[in-house]
């Protein structure tokens, strides 16, 4: 990963990010799909397959399954980098959180929808469906009607702040 770390700073020029983005936007859609992001993470930034999968889930803030040029810029410049992948204890927690998330993301689309959330709540022992909508709204901080992995991870509160 050492080579990839050179990309991570607030001053990385747009042209560098644009070049990286275009290299992996193999279908010319103007967005990087999951496969393209995973290839970027593995080939250019040196992650192993399981690390790339975990990092992708962290980067896909809305659970939409793809990434725009602006989203890539924000991530590269955020300083977030691979802090959750490089730290073995954080990485272990992330992998466990991903396993839990996938239990409830029944359709595998990268988000937990309302019905999947009801299943999650029932598994935790909640039966009062009148509370499900309020709980869903509390977790769905983006307000898009679904829970992305980053929203789920925040709710779990398993990771220390730093």
Residue 7: pLDDT band (50, 70, 90) is: low
**pLDDT higher than threshold 50 for residue 159:** yes
- Residues in contact with 113: Cβ distance below 8 Å, sequence separation at least 6, in sequence order: 107, 145, 146
**pLDDT higher than threshold 90 for residue 104:** yes
**Domains of the chain, start order:** 4-84 (1.10.238.10), 88-156 (1.10.238.10)
Q: What is the pLDDT of residue 5?
A: 54
Rg, Å, the chain Cα set: 17
Q: Model confidence over 129-156: pLDDT tens digits?
A: 888 888 999 999 989 999 999 999 999 9
Residue 24: pLDDT band (50, 70, 90) is: very high
Three-state SS at 150: helix
Which helix (H) or strand (E) segment is 28 a member of? Answer: none
């Amino acid at each position: 990963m050492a080579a990839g770390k050179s990309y991570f700073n607030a001053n990385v020029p747009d042209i560098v990010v644009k070049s990286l983005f275009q290299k992996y936007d193999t279908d010319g859609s103007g967005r990087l799909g999951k496969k393209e992001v995973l290839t970027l993470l593995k080939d250019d930034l040196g992650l192993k397959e399981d690390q790339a999968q975990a990092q992708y889930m962290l980067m896909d803030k809305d659970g939409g399954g793809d990434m725009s040029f602006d989203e890539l810029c924000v991530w590269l410049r955020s300083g977030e980098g691979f802090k959750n992948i490089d730290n073995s204890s954080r990485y272990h927690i992330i992998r466990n959180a991903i396993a839990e998330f996938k239990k409830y993301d029944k359709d595998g689309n990268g988000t937990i929808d309302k019905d999947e959330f009801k299943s999650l709540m029932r598994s935790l022992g909640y039966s009062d469906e009148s509370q499900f909508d309020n709980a869903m709204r509390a977790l769905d901080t983006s307000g898009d009607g679904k829970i992305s992995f980053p929203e789920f991870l925040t709710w779990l509160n398993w990771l220390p702040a730093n």
